[in-house]
Amino acid sequence: MSEVRENKIKKLKIRSMRRGIKEMDVILSYYSDICLEKMSGVKLELYSDLLFENDQDLYSWCSGQAVPKEKYSVIIAEIRAILKEKNFDYL
């Protein structure tokens, strides 16, 4: 893995665990630990964009209370699938 990619992943992991609400800290930290290193560069950029969204919106999307923006639908579906597979209590 290139140093630039490695640094980007580290920064995204930090942004994933330092959110505005605890539920999103836990959800996104868990997801980022499992998935970021396997993502393509394009998908990492999309995930980076996702992290700029409001935490209340992110939580609504991840919990299925609201439909996510179209461009994030694949990532949100992955997050939901991973959390469901692990019987995550935050949703």
Q: Is 30 a member of any domain?
A: yes
Whether residue 91 has pLDDT greater than 60? no
Q: Is 91 a member of any domain?
A: no
Calculate the alpha carbon distances from 29 to 70, 79, 87 in Å: 22, 11, 16
Q: What one-character-per-residue DSSP string does 7-51 give? A: HHHHHHHHHHHS-SSHHHHHHHHHHHHHHGGGS-HHHHHHHHHHT
Quick one: pLDDT at residue 3? 86
Domain count, the chain: 1
Quick one: pLDDT at residue 20? 86
Q: Is 24 a member of any domain?
A: yes
Whether residue 1 has pLDDT greater than 90? no
Q: Could you tell me the CATH number of the domain that includes residue 59?
A: 1.10.150.250
Q: Is 9 a member of any domain?
A: yes
Q: Considering the entire predicted model, what is its pTM?
A: 0.90
Q: What percent of the chain has pLDDT over 90?
A: 85
Residue 87's pLDDT band, with cuts at 50, 70 and 90, is confident
Please give the radius of gyration of the chain, using alpha carbons only, rounded to the nearest integer.
12
Quick one: pLDDT at residue 58? 96
Domain limits at 73? 3-85
